[in-house]
């Protein structure tokens, strides 16, 4: 089909005709077939799997865990690791703005219209995706304190110390909140020239005496600010920067397109990992659980 | 038109061809027979209201499945399918908290193919989100967002957001525990915005929590507001694909 149609227009001496094919039949045919395959596949799926319908909505019975639709579970996952304003609103907004801004930043038209157009595109993609997936998983494991459970189990299991527990000195490394609760902030005040600084790290005065400022500005709970905002945000900004520096060091990055490839692939890795963990690995109280141990209780 | 290309002696194939394509009723609908010459094939695409979204000719590399995997087209196909099944669902569904849940139950139990209809709508909605994401990845990895297609990429990002919102607003409608609490969790996230958080949440729900007002708002957005908006953005999206010179290819 292709050749006959193409042969017919080849006689016309216009630009690039020989590289073109007719939309009918060549494209229309492919579109028709793919639409048909999808229709059949969805029909079969719908005949086999029913859409869920639970009990009638009841505001007085909260399911545990309560989850958003799966495509928002990456955000709900973030919610467990940082201040809600960051997880639910600021991070997704910034991510979407940056996504939309890619073409205004990477404007070089070299390598467009072909898959993985640069020399190191393949490696950057694989590295960005895999490294981001791994690191995200490790961070989630760490914030879920699984390393604590595993260390205790291994040391007890090996018979090294049958009632070993995670050392108190390492409480700050139990999880993200450890930086808040595991550090003796109360004893960390110091004095400069007779003034005692930060007697209370949990209520650092920010307002100017004698003025009325917004109440939340008046006192800063530094330990909580550190664990819920500074560390998560620094991680989200710092890791991409490290990724770029690392790949630059390897000599893989030669253009903005390369940086875009690396960061976009890493983004896809994080997006997928958080969605999967949020969907399949969060049980009651949003604790980390293997998928087969997850039951929904109504409370 | 087709008359000029008729073979001098009628073969069996021609007889069949004439029987199907040259009868009074067919020609009243399609105006011509099957387009079997390049000229007529181009005319078929250019003059058909559905096909004219396409150019009449297209670069050879772009009909290779592995260039686009048809992902944009399939996203659009899902939208069409969702519109059809959605309209059918509207026959049976009333968005009030007294009736919504019961209507879905009755649709599943008493309406012929009702369960199938609901399943199709549900799974197509999920499929559309996945397809749109994959389409975005294919556009990214083929570097097809580069000039002059910057703006169409932005239109794409808006389409992605609208797709999520369409799905989210539909999620509440069955008014079961899954729906109610998912929307409660989702809108609580909106409420945590540092500025205008509570206000946006209130606007979305028509109250402080998910209730009758939220149901009617989500319903209206789901069945008319968002579909209208996304249709406009899709029209712009497809138009720009054409205006930007068809799909991207190496310079
Ligand atoms: C409802 C969602 C969407 C629909 C129905 C849609 C549909 C389409 C279609 C049919 C094409 C033609 C080529 C192809 O099939 O790949 C296309 C191209 C394109 N789409 Fe989308 N799209 C959607 C979402 C997006 C998103 C989320 C993005 C990016 C963020 C995007 C960016 C683009 C760009 C830049 C092109 C031009 C590609 C090229 O020149 O090779 N679209 N879209």
Question: Domain check: are B129 and B30 in the same one?
Answer: no
What are the Cα distances from residue A136, in Å, to A101, A132, A282? Answer: 24, 6, 15
Atom index in ligand 1 nearest the CA of residue B163 equals: 1
Q: Which two tokens stand for residue A149?
A: 């459970």
Q: How many Cβ atoms from other residues are within 10 Å of residue B131's Cβ?
A: 24
Confidence of residue A165 (pLDDT cuts 50, 70, 90): confident
Q: What are residue A53's phi and psi, to 5 degrees?
A: -145, 110
Residues B5 and B7: their CA atoms lie apart, in Å, by 6
Query: Does residue A213 surpass a pLDDT of 80?
Result: no
pLDDT of residue A13: 44
Tally of CA atoms within 13 A in the half-sphere of A257 that contains its CB:
25
Ligand 1-lining residues (CB < 6 angstroms)? B 68, 71-73, 75-76, 132, 135-136, 139, 144-145, 149, 152-153, 156-157, 159-160, 163, 234, 237, 241, 247-248
What are the Cα distances from residue B245, in Å, to A180, B72, B242? Answer: 56, 17, 5
Closest partner residue to A102 (CB to CB) among B35, B145, B181 is: B145
Taking a C-beta distance cutoff of 8 angstroms, is the pair A117, A110 a contact? yes
pTM over 0.95: no
Residues B137 and B200: their CA atoms lie apart, in Å, by 31
Residues B3 and B158: their CA atoms lie apart, in Å, by 48
Question: Domain check: are B48 and B89 in the same one?
Answer: no
Question: Domain check: are B119 and B74 in the same one?
Answer: yes
Question: Domain check: are B181 and B131 in the same one?
Answer: yes
pLDDT of residue B43: 87
B239 within some domain = yes
Q: Which residues in B lie closer than 8 A to residue A112 (C-beta atoms)?
A: 142-144, 146, 248-251
- Contacts with B57 (C-beta within 8 Å, 6 or more apart), sequence order: A9, A17, A20, A21, A22, A23, B42
Question: Domain check: are B219 and B102 in the same one?
Answer: yes
Question: Domain check: are B233 and B177 in the same one?
Answer: yes
Average pLDDT over residues A205-228: 71
B58 within some domain = no
The CATH code of the domain that includes B79 is 1.20.810.10
Q: Which two tokens stand for residue B72?
A: 């944009």
Q: Which two tokens stand for residue A203?
A: 């209520």
Question: Domain check: are B101 and B173 in the same one?
Answer: yes
Please judge whether A100 and B153 are an interchain contact, meaning their C-beta atoms are less than 8 angstroms apart: yes
Cβ-based contacts under 8 A for chains A and B: 241
What are the Cα distances from residue A209, in Å, to A198, A213, A271, B93? Answer: 16, 10, 45, 60
B251 within some domain = no
B60 within some domain = no
**What is the Å distance from ligand 1's center to B236 Cα?**
11
| Structural domain range at position B32 | 13-53
pLDDT of residue A154: 92
A-interface mutation test, from B189, B193, B205, most A Cβ less than 10 A away: B189
Residue among B160, B109, B167, B169 nearest B135 (CA): B160
**Dihedral (C-alpha) A204, A207, A208, A212: value to the nearest 10 degrees?**
-150
How confident is chain B (251 residues) per 10-residue block, as mean pLDDT?
Answer: 60 86 85 82 84 86 88 97 98 96 97 97 98 98 95 98 98 97 94 90 95 97 98 96 90 75
Average pLDDT over residues A16-32: 83
Question: Domain check: are B107 and B217 in the same one?
Answer: yes
B59 within some domain = no
Taking a C-beta distance cutoff of 8 angstroms, is the pair A269, A251 a contact? no
Residue among B106, B127, B62, B185 nearest A65 (CA): B185
Ligand 1 pocket mutation pick from B130, B241, B243, B245 by most atoms within 8 angstroms of CB:
B241
Strand partners, A219: A205
Question: Domain check: are B35 and B122 in the same one?
Answer: no
Confidence of residue A1 (pLDDT cuts 50, 70, 90): very low
Per-residue pLDDT tens digits for B89-145: 999 999 999 999 999 999 999 999 999 999 999 999 999 999 999 999 999 999 999
Burial class (CB in 10 A: 0-12, 13-18, 19+), A200: middle
- The number of folded domains in chain B is 2
Q: DSSP letters of A92-114?
A: HHHHHHHHHHHHHH----TTTTS
Between A6 and A185, residue with greater pLDDT: A185
Question: Domain check: are B178 and B225 in the same one?
Answer: yes
Q: To the nearest whole angstrom, how far is the Cα of B134 from the nearest Cα of chain A?
A: 10
Residue among B215, B181, B22, B211 nearest B104 (CA): B215
**What is the Å distance from ligand 1's center to A146 Cα?**
41
B20 within some domain = yes
B63 within some domain = no
pLDDT of residue A229: 94
Residue among B139, B181, B188, B49 nearest A297 (CA): B181
Question: Domain check: are B209 and B96 in the same one?
Answer: yes
Q: What are residue A56's phi and psi, to 5 degrees?
A: -60, 145
What is the predicted ipTM? 0.88
Count of residues for chain A? 299
Question: Domain check: are B40 and B150 in the same one?
Answer: no
Between A284 and B8, residue with greater pLDDT: A284
B188 within some domain = yes
Place of tokens 């981001």: A132
Average pLDDT over residues A222-226: 89
């Amino acid at each position: 089909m292709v050749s006959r149609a193409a042969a017919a227009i080849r006689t016309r001496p216009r630009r690039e005709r020989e590289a073109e094919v007719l939309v009918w039949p060549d494209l229309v045919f492919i579109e028709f077939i793919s639409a048909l395959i999808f229709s059949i596949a969805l029909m079969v799926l719908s005949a086999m799997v029913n859409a869920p319908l639970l009990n009638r909505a009841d505001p007085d019975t909260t399911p545990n865990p309560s989850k958003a639709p799966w495509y928002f579970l990456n955000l709900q996952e973030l919610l467990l690791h940082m201040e809600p304003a960051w997880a639910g609103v600021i991070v997704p907004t910034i991510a979407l703005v940056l996504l939309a801004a890619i073409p205004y930043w990477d404007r070089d038209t070299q390598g467009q219209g072909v898959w993985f157009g640069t020399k190191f595109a393949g490696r950057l993609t694989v590295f960005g995706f895999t490294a981001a997936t791994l690191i995200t998983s490790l961070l989630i494991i760490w914030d879920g304190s699984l390393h604590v459970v595993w260390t205790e189990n291994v040391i007890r299991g090996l018979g090294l110390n049958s009632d070993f527990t995670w050392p108190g000195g390492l409480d700050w490394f139990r999880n993200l909140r450890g930086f808040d609760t595991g550090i003796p902030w109360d004893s960390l005040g110091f004095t400069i020239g007779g003034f005692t600084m930060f007697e209370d790290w949990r209520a650092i005065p920010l307002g100017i005496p004698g003025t009325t400022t917004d109440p939340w500005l008046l006192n800063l709970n530094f330990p909580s600010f550190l664990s819920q905002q500074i560390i998560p945000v620094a991680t989200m900004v710092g890791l991409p920067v490290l990724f770029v520096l690392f790949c630059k060091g390897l000599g893989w990055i030669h253009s903005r397109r390369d940086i875009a490839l690396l960061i976009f692939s890493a983004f896809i890795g994080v997006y997928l990992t958080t969605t999967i963990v949020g969907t399949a690995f969060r049980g009651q109280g949003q604790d980390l659980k293997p998928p087969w141990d997850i039951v929904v209780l109504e409370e | 038109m087709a008359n000029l290309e008729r073979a001098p002696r009628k073969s069996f194939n021609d007889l069949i061809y004439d029987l199907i394509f040259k009868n009074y009723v067919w020609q009243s609908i399609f105006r011509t027979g099957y387009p079997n010459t390049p000229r007529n094939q181009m005319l078929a695409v250019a003059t058909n209201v559905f096909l004219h979204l396409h150019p009449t000719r297209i670069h050879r590399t772009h009909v290779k499945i592995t260039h686009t995997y048809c992902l944009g087209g399939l996203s659009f196909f899902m939208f069409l399918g969702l519109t059809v099944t959605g309209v059918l669902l509207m026959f049976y569904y009333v968005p009030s908290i007294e009736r919504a849940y019961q209507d879905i139950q009755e649709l599943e139990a008493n309406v012929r193919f009702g369960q199938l209809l609901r399943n199709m709508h549900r799974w197509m909605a999920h499929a559309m989100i996945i397809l749109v994401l994959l389409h975005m990845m294919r556009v990214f990895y083929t570097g097809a967002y580069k000039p002059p297609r910057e703006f169409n990429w932005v239109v794409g990002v808006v389409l992605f957001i609208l797709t999520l919102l369409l799905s989210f607003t539909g999620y509440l409608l069955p008014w079961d525990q899954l729906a109610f609490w998912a929307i409660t969790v989702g809108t609580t996230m909106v409420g945590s915005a540092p500025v205008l958080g509570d206000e946006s949440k209130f606007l979305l729900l028509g109250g402080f929590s998910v209730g009758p007002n939220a149901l009617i708002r989500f319903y209206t957005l789901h069945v008319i507001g968002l579909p209208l908006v996304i249709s406009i953005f899709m029209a712009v999206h497809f138009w720009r694909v054409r205006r930007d010179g068809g799909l991207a290819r190496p310079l």
